[in-house]
Structure 1
Amino acid sequence: MATQYSIQGKTAKGIAASVERGVTEGELAPGDALPPVRKLADDLGVSPGTVATAYKELRARGLVVTRGRGGTVVAEAPSVASRRPPRMPEGLTDLASGLPDPAFLPVLRPPREVRPVYGSHRAAPRLAVLEELTRAWFRRDGVPAARVTFAHGALD
């Protein structure tokens, strides 16, 4: 039984989220046993039905499996990906989420006046300073920078 991770929650959703967090963060490893329904219910001060509902949700999502008298354990290979992004190990940069690291973004001051432009997004006002900063950054890294495209979203 997993003794280092303490499952929390007062609702089925909260308990399931706590177990998911433990799996996502590596505190609960594949094969780790979860407490029996009645024991966890006593520990958390909730009804056994609440814990059973949480375990049922976790089973439906493939995060845990029930082995009859062997109890409920963390699945060897969860069939459903976690809704939480994985924690990035220190020293690595997350390139999968599509979200830019704020540390790499330049501090920009908006121009005095930006007027709305109707029609094609290609007619939108261009920030020449941002384009030149981007070209310089690309050139420094050896990336061809003659033409730079800015898009409305990290995955465009």
Structure 2
Amino acid sequence: MADRWLDDEQQRTWRAWLTVSELVPRVLDAQLQRDAGLSHAAYVVLAMLSESPSRSRRMSDLARRANQSQSRLSHTVARLEERGWVRRERATDDGRGNLAVLTDAGYDVVVAVAPGHVDAVRESVFGPLTGEQTSVLREALEAIAEKLDPDRSLRVRDGNDLPD
């Protein structure tokens, strides 16, 4: 029966994870709203587009990278289109898919907002940690990701190695 429940250390760790996973996005959202009138979800979309050499991505790839459902991404992109920061285009390679394309104005937003966002991430996530704790956290998170996705089919690869 005892194996059915988390032990005290696991319970404290789980509760800490729940708290952090709620507070970090809230803090980052507040910073982005204050600095740019932008949600964290919208910023992630802009950032993922800015990291592509062509400043564009298939909507399906963008949804995966931004950790949004297709429906939520469509709404996010629509709001960004209204602001002139993103436009949608038909994919030229097959004509079936849609691309989200970062406009020059959208790129300017990313360039302007990114330093404050990086500062907020650094302060809220890494500020309380030592270098050793940061390494341990990374290793722990990588171990969890490996357990949840051993064949790496659910993860977006690092960098720009997926086709645009």
TM-score range, shorter chain: 0.3 to 0.5
More strand as a share of residues = 2
The alignment's TM-score, normalised by the length of structure 1, stands at 0.33
Between structure 1 and structure 2, the one with the greater Rg is: 1
More helix as a share of residues = 2
The alignment's TM-score, normalised by the length of structure 2, stands at 0.32
